[in-house]
Homo-oligomer: A and B are copies of this chain.
Amino acid sequence: MGRLSTIRDETVFAAAGAQLASEGAVTLQGLVAATGISIGSLYHRYGSREGLLAQAWIDAVSTFQDRFLAALAAGDEEAGLQAALATPRFCREQRDRAIILCCCRQVDFIAPATPPANLQTVRTINDKVAAALQAHAGKSGHSLAACRMGMVAFPLGAVRLYLPGQAVPEDVDDYVEAGFRAAMNADTGARS
């Protein structure tokens, strides 16, 4: 029961990401202007500025993580490539969340003043991805460095050529694939 919220979390989080990407900082007044929400609602719903930012980050990261881990979990020969391609695809299908992940930094959302509960959630998420990467490295016989390069660094660098201003073109996937294979081949620490 009780009154229903008029403005969705999604809208607020997207506005925060957009402001951070374009201005370099988020102000609550800015969010009020961008979304029409009131200061009172912001504090009622998110507790504090830090809480709001932390939730926005967690929302974006966990959504992406689901796809990235699912791709890796396939476990077959091309699992790594699918994980690499998860980044450009995410940028097209979840643009607002991708802007938070690709155009901002964790430090913009997660700070010492972040509520402990949120801080713990972030740690769990980060650990999970790190572990999955580690596991994939072991299974595929490649070094962790090569996996991070081909599945994280190159894809991120690629989409950042376009976000936040432009759409990520389809042919970025070709470059990501080429970069992924190159990283795997260049793997000086390969074990197989």
Contacts and interface: CB of A to CB of B under 8 A. Distances in A.
Interface of A: 21-25, 103, 105, 107-108, 111, 145-146, 148-149, 152-158, 160-161, 169, 171, 174-175, 177-179, 181-183, 185-186, 188-189
Nearest to A169: B145
Majority secondary structure, A binding face: helix
B157 A160 contact: yes
A153 B148 CA distance: 15
A177 to B, nearest CB: 8
Contact of A23 (B107, B188, B189): B107
The 5 closest A-B pairs by CB, nearest first: A157-B157, A182-B182, A178-B186, A178-B182, A153-B157
Contacts of A103: 105
Given A21-B107, A146-B175, 13 more contacts: A24-B105, A145-B169, A145-B171, A149-B158, A149-B161, A149-B179, A152-B157, A152-B161, A153-B158, A156-B157, A156-B160, A178-B186, A179-B183
Given A182-B178, A186-B178, A154 B145 contact: no
Nearest to A174: B186
B148 A161 contact: yes
A181 B149 CA distance: 15
B24 A107 contact: yes
A178 B183 contact: yes
A158 B154 CA distance: 7
